[in-house]
Structure 1
Amino acid sequence: MGKYIALFFLIMFMIGTDTFLISPLLPVLQTEFGVSTGNAGWMIGAYTLGSAVFALIAGPLSDGWNRRTVLLGGLLGFSVSTILCGFADSFWTMCLFRFLAGVSAAFTAPQVWASIPVVMPASSVSKTMGIAFGGLAASQALGVPIGSWLAAAHWSVPFWAIGSASLLLVALAFFLLPDMKPGMSKGGLRSILGRYVPLLTSGRARSGFLAYLLLHLGSGTAFAFAGKWMSDRFEMPIGEVGTVMMFLGFGTLLGSMVSPYATKWLGDIKAVAAGMSSLVVLYTVLPQLPNLSFVTIVFLVVFGILGVIFPIVMGALTSMNASIRGTISSLANSTMNGANTLGAWLAGVLYAYAGGYSSIGYFAAACLAVSLGTFLLGGVLNRKAAPTGGESTSAS
């Protein structure tokens, strides 16, 4: 089972590195392509838009196809698209290649979350979820800073490195992953859309995804322009921004490691409530901090709390209906990236026209407060997994 844990961790590490990479590179790319601050956020938004839109299709399709095939195809497309980003010669070509990378990620990342309950024993699912999310955290702690340092040579180098490493993961996944037979037939468009019906008709599911949207909208908006804000306010070069991002990533990594214990000690509801309440306060005070040391410490705490929260919430969402885990995982991925797309645009507007990073902090705090209320009132964290359906595996 360790081989699956390592593979899922590495896949999420690569996707996370690619997802978060643009934030510390934003000042360099903005200058390189000559775009305004208000429009620069679309180099982040193009990726998340592609992922958000196509995840809505990828999820239901994957519930009727072999998950191994979907994951391999998505990861291959992700590798090629990311390499192409390094060859972008304009703002629009960069947005196009980022969009294609996001589309490919939409067919890859949800398969990780949906495959974990299939290939892992029930007793290891929660732990594996945390480790896979730790791959995202590690991408901030190690991948994004390393990418920033590589960009000191040239901004294209990180994209080539991520894409090439992902190609190696395609080969590794081909040999390691078993076939994961679908739990339901492929069906046509009506069947695909029908897989959303159990979610659309469930008040608990509607509350869960609304709260998840607000959680990512707040955190995504705050993260999108964090690198640019630190660069502007503290006059930091890109290499130093990458170093601070490393501390943010270590916070998330630590939080994801602590998450299973927080759930055991406090329970899902208390852990999420305490964490999100703290985030409301921290996002409010963060833009007012006077020096970089305080900013780094608070960011470390913020991302540590997010690292605790996200695996708990993802586990609660995927437990809603066992027969459509791919649909749930992809809808969660679409919701996350839709929120990050909107957040990247809002961050640019708020930063440029509404008082800088202070307005971003207040907006993030408001989103987290409403998200917490929605989680609690909707009963989302009271896990009651539906035992219907299932999937079978076979050696490849």
Structure 2
Amino acid sequence: MRKYTALFFLIMFMIGTDTFLISPLLPTLQTQFSVSTGIAGWMLGAYTLGSAIFALIAGPLSDGWNRRTVMLSGLLGFSVSTFLCGFADSFWTMCLFCFLAGVSAAFTAPQVWASIPAIMPASRVSKTMGIAFAGLAASQALGVPIGSWLAAAHWSVPFWTIGIASLLLAAVAFYSLPDLKPSVLNGERTAILRRYVPLMTSGKARSGFLAYLLLHLGSGTAFAFVGKWMADRFELPIGQIGTVMMFLGFGSLLGSMISSYATRKLGHAKAVVAGMSMLIVLYTAMPHLTNLPLVTIVYLIIFTTLGIIFPIVMGALTSLNASIRGTISSLANSTMNGANTLGAWLAGLLYVQLGGYSSIGIFSTVCLALSLGTFLFGGVLGRKADRTGQESATAS
């Protein structure tokens, strides 16, 4: 069973590394392809756009297929498209290959979460889920900085490395994973998209996903241009940007590890209120800091706080309806990537047109304030959230 746990961790690690890799490389790629700052963010947005669009159908559709086959196909596509990013000779070919990598990731990641309960004993499902989630956090702590250091040799090296490593993981998955055929009957597969109906008809679900969208829009917009801002503000080379990014990743990893402790001490609602209130203050102050060590510490706190909040919010969303948790996870993944896509585009406009990173900080603050209000008044957190599953079950 440990081999499955390690495999799932590494798959999520590779997907996470590819997701966040563009941010520290943005100044280099902008120069390489001679594009303006206003549209450079689309090299990040292309990946998240592909993932956002196809996540909506990847989860429900794959419920009717052999999950092992879907995971292998996704990993192969992810490997090839990421490898091709290293050969991109223009802005548009880079966007195309990043988009294809995002599409492949949308078919791969949901299979990890859906395969764990099917493969692992019930007593180890929760722990394995946590380890797989830690793969995403570790990708920020280790994968992105390592990628940045590799890019010091040449910008294409990180893409080739991730592509080759993912191909090796696909080979391991081919020889180690058993068949995971669907349990649904053929006649039931055509109605799979109807699983979204309970979420669309539930006011609590609509509020929850709107709040989740705003949360990722605020944090994603700030993250998209942090590498560009550090290069402009502190004149950092790409290797040093990667070192700073390492602290951001460690913050995310630390936050995910202590999230359950914060929940026990404060409760779901108070932990989210305290965390998002802190983020509002820090995102407002961040663009005005002139000391790099202080900036690094503040971003460590920000990502630790985000690491605490995200599991709590995700738990609240998946409790909306226990019978369609896979569909909820797919929709949450699509919402996250959709927000990051929009955030990458908006970050470019704000950075160029409205005063640099300070305008991004204000925008992130407004998004987080609206998100917090929507979470609270929508009843997604607290006692009302405990009854959401009943409401959604009734709606279905």
Q: TM-score range by the shorter chain?
A: over 0.9
Residue 162 of structure 1 deviates from its aligned partner by 0.4
When structure 1 is superposed on structure 2, of 234-243 and 192-201 the one drifting more is 192-201
- Residue in 1 that maps onto 2:108: 108
Residue 118 of structure 1 deviates from its aligned partner by 4.0
Gaps of 5+ in 1: 390-396
Structure 1: how far apart are the matches of 2:320 and 2:58?
19
Instruction: Report SS of the residue matched to 2:294.
Output: helix
Q: Does 1:360 align with 2:356?
A: no
Residue 289 of structure 1 deviates from its aligned partner by 1.1
Residue 129 of structure 1 deviates from its aligned partner by 3.5
* Amino acid in the other structure paired with 1:89: D
Structure 2: how far apart are the matches of 1:172 and 1:386?
38
Residue 190 of structure 1 deviates from its aligned partner by 5.9
Kindly tell me: are residues 330 and 186 of structure 1, through their superposed partners in 2, closer, same or farther at Cα, counting changes over 3 Å? farther
- Write out aligned runs for 1:258-277 (5 A): 258-277=258-277
Instruction: Report SS of the residue matched to 1:108.
Output: helix
- Residue in 2 that maps onto 1:75: 75
> Over residues 80-99 of structure 1, what are the superposed CA-to-partner deviations in whole Å (9 max), with x where a residue is unaligned?
11001011111111010000
Structure 2: how far apart are the matches of 1:145 and 1:326?
32
When structure 1 is superposed on structure 2, of 355-364 and 6-15 the one drifting more is 6-15
Mapped contact 2:48–2:99 kept (Cα < 8 A): yes
If each structure's helix is expressed as a fraction of its own residues, which one has the higher value? 2
Structure 2: how far apart are the matches of 1:115 and 1:248?
29
Structure 1: how far apart are the matches of 2:232 and 2:65?
48
> Over residues 92-113 of structure 1, what are the superposed CA-to-partner deviations in whole Å (9 max), with x where a residue is unaligned?
1101000000000111112223
Instruction: Report SS of the residue matched to 2:155.
Output: coil
Kindly tell me: are residues 230 and 353 of structure 1, through their superposed partners in 2, closer, same or farther at Cα, counting changes over 3 Å? same
Instruction: Report SS of the residue matched to 1:107.
Output: helix
When structure 1 is superposed on structure 2, of 298-307 and 182-191 the one drifting more is 182-191
Mapped contact 2:82–2:160 kept (Cα < 8 A): yes
The TM-score normalised by the length of structure 1 is 0.92
Residue 117 of structure 1 deviates from its aligned partner by 4.0
Number of aligned positions between the proteins: 389
Instruction: Report SS of the residue matched to 2:180.
Output: strand
- Residue in 2 that maps onto 1:207: 207
- Residue in 1 that maps onto 2:33: 33
Residue 372 of structure 1 deviates from its aligned partner by 1.4
- Residue in 2 that maps onto 1:393: none
> Over residues 184-238 of structure 1, what are the superposed CA-to-partner deviations in whole Å (9 max), with x where a residue is unaligned?
3456996243121111112222112111111110000000000000110001111
When structure 1 is superposed on structure 2, of 311-320 and 22-31 the one drifting more is 311-320
When structure 1 is superposed on structure 2, of 374-383 and 96-105 the one drifting more is 374-383
Mapped contact 1:63–1:327 kept (Cα < 8 A): no
- Residue in 1 that maps onto 2:149: 149
Q: Does 1:14 align with 2:18?
A: no
- Residue in 1 that maps onto 2:328: 328
Percent of residue pairs bearing the same amino acid type: 79
When structure 1 is superposed on structure 2, of 285-294 and 311-320 the one drifting more is 311-320
When structure 1 is superposed on structure 2, of 157-166 and 196-205 the one drifting more is 196-205
Kindly tell me: are residues 279 and 113 of structure 1, through their superposed partners in 2, closer, same or farther at Cα, counting changes over 3 Å? farther
Instruction: Report SS of the residue matched to 1:65.
Output: coil
- Residue in 1 that maps onto 2:340: 340
Kindly tell me: are residues 90 and 180 of structure 1, through their superposed partners in 2, closer, same or farther at Cα, counting changes over 3 Å? same
The TM-score normalised by the length of structure 2 is 0.92
- Residue in 2 that maps onto 1:313: 313
Kindly tell me: are residues 366 and 186 of structure 1, through their superposed partners in 2, closer, same or farther at Cα, counting changes over 3 Å? farther
When structure 1 is superposed on structure 2, of 279-288 and 191-200 the one drifting more is 191-200
Mapped contact 2:380–2:388 kept (Cα < 8 A): no
- Residue in 1 that maps onto 2:44: 44
* Amino acid in the other structure paired with 2:100: L
Residue 384 of structure 1 deviates from its aligned partner by 5.6
When structure 1 is superposed on structure 2, of 117-126 and 281-290 the one drifting more is 117-126
When structure 1 is superposed on structure 2, of 254-263 and 108-117 the one drifting more is 108-117
Instruction: Report SS of the residue matched to 1:12.
Output: helix
Structure 2: how far apart are the matches of 1:306 and 1:238?
25
When structure 1 is superposed on structure 2, of 175-184 and 357-366 the one drifting more is 175-184
Root-mean-square deviation over aligned CA pairs? 2.2
